[in-house]
Amino acid sequence: MDTPAFRPGRKRSSCGAGQGVYNKALEDRTRAWYGEQRRLSYVQSSAALTEWKKTEGLAFLTEVSSVPLQQALRHLQAAFGNFFAKRAKYPRYKSRKRSRASAEYTRSAFTWRDGRLTLAKMARPLDIRWSRPLPEGAEPTTVTVSRDSARRWFVSMLCEDTIAPAPATGAAVGLDAGITSLVTLSTGEKIANPRHERRDRERLAKAQRELSRKAKGSSNRAKARVKVARVHARIADRRRDFLHKLSTRLVRENQTVVIEDLTVRNLLKNGTLARAISDAAWTDLRMMLEYKCAWYGRELVTIDRWFPSSKLCGACGTVREKLPLNVREWTCDCGAVHDRDVNAARNILAAGLAASACGGGVRPQRESSRTGRSSVKQEPQRATAGIPRL
């Protein structure tokens, strides 16, 4: 079977060579297992790599550093380890169009001197625009050079650093995720949704139309594909920057942050709201809150997704039977007037603080799936105490 990464006529690089070695080693392992019921180890793949370099068609592997090639084999070994441990699916081939090209260099394959990085088999240091300096006194142990689909090159350096906990504060906040307002805080503040994808939708549609008109396999189609990728990269970069600033602010200002355990994968099944939910990137925000709270000594509390945060009256505790999404403000029988999102955020905060204080949690009683429950903001009518899903 021909390995796509080793097609003739391709420009060779450490990234491309590493990708090709990964694919060829995967091909050999697959053939050995399904054809001979025999497993190949990393040592055997490494020995095979030495033989590949001696063949006429693969002699270009000697032109790049051997370290990224060996690292590619180690990554493949880790992928098979996860597969056999049933933590992942069977390893797949790396695609030139879909996979992020990368090359990993360990300490013996690069030089870091006076703030300048020189990789193995390079005569001069790389010309890099640093996004931030390395921690004081830190020495990089691993360098990863990668290129995304928009043909932008990145250098990532791994080094040890100690993050000091942030000064303690007595503040706590509950977050209610939404679409019109990206996040509503229990303080009453609403963080507007920037809608980055919508702002660039026309530019993206134009680039995609141009791509669809190009002949498949042509160089013009490749150029058009890069234009589409650059629009996507612009949207993703702006979204990530906004979420980083928001999550950092929330973690710095509050000792306890309470969020809902939303299943975004299920919510995306709603065809009407899927595009807006994807643009909101709630999963990315939660991930950032998780590791930043761990960094700075904060507490992140996650309440059950079935907790009726929107339908629960924060004044009397009554749970409303129905509350359609188009109802943004409602009045309880006790006379309390609630903003839907602010009320939900305050209820989330109260439930999270109760769970954190007593070691218990909030787990509402779930109704049968036969009732045809909507996949958007699923909230039951009754709640019972239980074990928190943290």
**All residues at 6 or more sequence positions from 203 whose CB lies less than 8 Å from its CB, including other chains:** 231
Between the alpha carbon of residue 143 and those of residues 71, 133, 160, 318, the distances in Å are: 11, 15, 13, 56
Reduced to 3 states, what is the DSSP secondary structure of residue 314? coil
- Whether 162 and 128 have beta carbons less than 8 Å apart is answered as no
**All residues at 6 or more sequence positions from 230 whose CB lies less than 8 Å from its CB, including other chains:** 150
The rounded distance, in Å, linking the Cα atoms of 361 and 140 is 42
Helix (H) or strand (E) holding 222: helix 219-253
* Half-sphere exposure for 224 (CA within 13 Å, toward CB): 17
**All residues at 6 or more sequence positions from 67 whose CB lies less than 8 Å from its CB, including other chains:** 104, 105, 106, 108, 109, 120
Residue with the two structure tokens 């958007």? 376
Residue 344, token pair as written in the block? 């939900």
Query: Helix 66-84 crosses helix 42-54 at what angle (to 10 degrees)?
Result: 140
Beta strands in 261-355 (DSSP E): 299-303, 329-331, 337-339
The catalytic residue positions are 176, 260, 341
